[in-house]
Structure 1
Amino acid sequence: MEALRPSRRAIARSAVWTVPVIAVAATAPAFAASPCDCAGFSVPAFPASGTLGNGWSLSSNNVSSGGGTDRFENGSFVTVEDSTRYDTRTVTASRSICVTAGKTYRFQYSWTAYLINNRKMTSVLQVNGQAVANSQIDTSTSQASGTRNVTWMSNASGTVTMSFLHTVTPPGLLGGNLTGDDITINSVTASCS
């Protein structure tokens, strides 16, 4: 009698059941770093020149081609604007920053201003269009230079828009000198805790 030999198919079928299976699963760390983490938070410097760079950009409203200069220069945000008779002029330097809910953000910046023109200019730091307390510079009441240290607390995590809004108000319907004061914002630094 001849011994039965198993076929190749039979061996292959049984091999499926005898090969051990090892499952490997990767787990995320319990406290993975958030992309908006406070550690190392900073705000990039203003560009050396032009109207955008380092994530910063400029926008303006009611600005005429012959009445001013709005730009980044030597790492500062420079606004030299004259108001029209009826319109408020605004120039905004803005960029996105990533924040974490419940954290306090401290912004420090210095300014210089040219105060002897007839129309005042104001500057205010905003986050998502809302003024940060104690950040306003008003050329009719502020000194010609100084430093602001202000804090803002985030209510939510994610990306927000940080901006410096410069405004020149019109002299009114009766006329008057249209020449506005000037403001330069320098050296913005930031930290988070």
Structure 2
Amino acid sequence: MQEVRDEVGSHWWVLAVRGVCAVLFGVLAIVWPLITLLVLVILFGAYAIVSGVFMIIGAVRGAHSGGSRNWMIIAGVLAIVAGIIAWIWPGITAFALLTLIAAYAVVIGIFEIIAAVKRRLAGDADWMYLLSGVVSVIFGILLFVWPAPGALALTWLIGVFAIVYGASLLYLAFRARSMEQRGTTGSTAHAV
């Protein structure tokens, strides 16, 4: 159990980078709500690719334990694929973009919920990881059920989601960092 906490704690920066990227993406979407669909597609593609790369890095370097590591690698690959699709077809319609973002949010959220449950079963009770997955799934479902009538509403909705999601990842990163620091302090205290 302590080994898992030490592993996760030493890779806190992966969660922090993902959280900062999500918050920056959200702020840009809210500050410039009248950006064109092309710019929104490019921003989403960049966010999805960067997020996916850091998911994979975190999983490969041991930020996730056991079976959740495989789920996070799959989620990272799916995020990269979603970003590449957004870049390959930048002229897609607002509805297609909405559908792509909704699908991305639901799939990533499900994988994060699965990873959180697996971590819970391993003895790590971090409810914020589960919460970020649930928020992602709810956001995706809402986009499917009530498609935004215009790019302005879509941009604000995406921006708010990205900020909330990024904030939850930053919270997790700093919790993981404090776990690492407590582990380091504890190990030096035992060594003295």
Q: Which category describes the TM-score, using the shorter chain as reference length?
A: under 0.3
Which structure has more relative contact order (CA 8 Å, sep 6+)? It is: 2
* Greater percentage in helix: 2
